[in-house]
Amino acid sequence: MRILLVDDEAEFVSTLAERLTMRGYQADYSITAGNALDLAAKHLYDVAVLDMKMPGTSGLELQARLAEKHPAMRFIFLTGHGSEDDYSAGSRQAAHYLVKPVDINTLIAKINQTVFANDR
C-alpha cells in the first residue's frame, strides 16, 4: 500500500513517514502542495493524508486537484485545527477527519478502513 503524506510541518511529516515505513507501508511525504502533485504524478498512491491548513494551497484545494487527476485516490484529513467549517467540509470530501495529535495505530486503522472501502 502506498501512502502520500502532505503537511507543512517537516519534522512531523518526515517522522510519521518513517514510522509508517517501519510498519511496512510505502510512505512518501511532501511539505508543499506542488511537490505533492509531482509525487502523485510519479507514483500511484492508494491514500493521501493531508493537512487542512497549509501555507499557499489549503488541504481542501490540494485534495480537489489530486482527486481530479487520480480518481481512485482516497483521502484522510489531519489537522491541528478543529473548526466547524473545516470539519464539515473535510468530512464531506474525505473518508476521515482526524485532529492532531493522533495515535499512529488509530491513523493506521483509519488508513486500512479507507483502503478497505476503496477495494470494495
Using CB under 8 A, list all residues that contact other proteins: 9, 11-12, 15-16, 18-19, 22-23, 80-84, 87, 99-104
Q: Which is nearer to other proteins, 92 or 120 (CB)?
A: 92
Task: Report helix, strand or coil for 73.
Answer: coil
Cβ at position 81, least distance to other proteins in Å = 4
Cβ at position 32, least distance to other proteins in Å = 16
Cβ at position 83, least distance to other proteins in Å = 6
CA distance 116 to 118: 5
CA distance 41 to 33: 12
> Could you give the residue ranges of the DSSP H alpha helices within the chain?
10-22, 33-42, 59-69, 84-93, 104-119
Q: Which is nearer to other proteins, 4 or 16 (CB)?
A: 16
